[in-house]
Chains A and B, each alone.
Chain A
């Protein structure tokens, strides 16, 4: 839960990168709303984690000290506006496939937070898909930009489902406790099967020459993501790990005076008034 909460908070960074450069006022307002939602998701999940007895402050410190992690996907850079589309379609799409089963997981506070989050995520995915559709039906240069974004985000999105079940360290326990209800590989397959027809409508190509329908299995065969790369990013060697953490620390420190001022004001108001 803590890792999930941290992911929502760090996940604001790659997208916030494009708020000031959104192509229209409408897109800018939408992106602002989306980033605000991510902050909200982080807060629902922190509150859920706190029901197990940990304080918010401890969770913050564990993230800032690098002792708790966040999803590796946010360690990839957003190089073009089309990346905002690809994140919405693929990254949020993968997150939805991961998260929908969590709405019925065994821990009530987590499940309730996930129900609220899943409702909001579907707007995120659709706005991303709309961005890509607009680009892919625009000029050749816009279409190329959309294709480039999909090329870069496809495999990191597949990696979001984690290592194969045979190598996943926590899966067995999470499944036994009914926190996780489906294996990593099963969810990854579900995601690929959903994306193929969606990519066709976009008129964009999924960057996998091995991708083809397997009638025997009733699913698509595909090239798995590079799990060695995933593990390297998890260990801190992705393109943006240091930048993301530095930015989070800076934001935390820059906000300190606001928290102190609000606390001082509240304390002053609580003091009895002497005539």
Chain B
């Protein structure tokens, strides 16, 4: 059975001023074809002004199974949010 060509993750920037966001993935033998295929697959209705394609194998992701432990350090630091603090009545522009 022939092997699949590499998997690419596709990111599209919908308009100037917005960030690229992930829209899906596709298979292509190289980056140039991935880019062309991404245009045909994900921007048939003018959904974007810029596309990034990234080899899926190059993405390092956090493990879903370890998400509790991984994100735990932030859990007890509510003082990072402005709402943690009591503002005395009458103090303006704070």
> Which residues from chain A sit less than 8 Å from chain B, CB to CB?
33, 36-37, 40, 43-44, 47, 50, 55-58, 61, 112-113, 116, 120, 259, 262-263, 265-266, 269
Contact = CB atoms under 8 A, between A and B. Distances in A.
Interface string B21-34: 00011111110010
Interface of B: 1-5, 7, 24-30, 33, 40-41, 44-45
A198 B41 CA distance: 32
A57 B3 contact: yes
A169 B30 CA distance: 42
B59 to A, nearest CB: 14
Contacts of B45: 120
Contacts of A36: 40, 44
B5 A40 contact: no
Contact of B5 (A33, A44, A120, A263): A263
Nearest to B7: A50
B24 A47 contact: yes
Interface of chain B: mostly helix, strand, loop or mixed: loop
A47 B44 CA distance: 18
B44 A265 contact: no
A112 B24 CA distance: 9
B29 A265 contact: yes
Contacts of A56: 4, 27
Contact of A57 (B1, B24, B28, B41): B1
B2 A57 contact: yes
Given A57-B3, A61-B1, A44 B29 contact: no
A41 to B, nearest CB: 10
**Those 5 A-B pairs whose CB atoms lie nearest each other, nearest first:** A266-B29, A266-B30, A262-B29, A56-B4, A263-B29
Given A43-B26, A116-B24, 18 more contacts: A33-B44, A36-B44, A37-B44, A40-B41, A43-B41, A47-B26, A55-B3, A55-B4, A57-B2, A58-B1, A113-B24, A259-B2, A259-B29, A262-B28, A262-B33, A265-B29, A266-B5, A269-B30
Nearest to B45: A120
Nearest to A263: B29
Contacts of A262: 5, 28-30, 33
Contacts of B33: 262, 266
Nearest to A262: B29
23 contacts: A33-B44, A36-B40, A37-B44, A40-B40, A40-B41, A43-B41, A44-B24, A47-B24, A47-B25, A55-B3, A55-B4, A57-B1, A57-B2, A57-B3, A112-B24, A120-B45, A259-B29, A262-B28, A263-B29, A265-B29, A266-B29, A266-B33, A269-B30
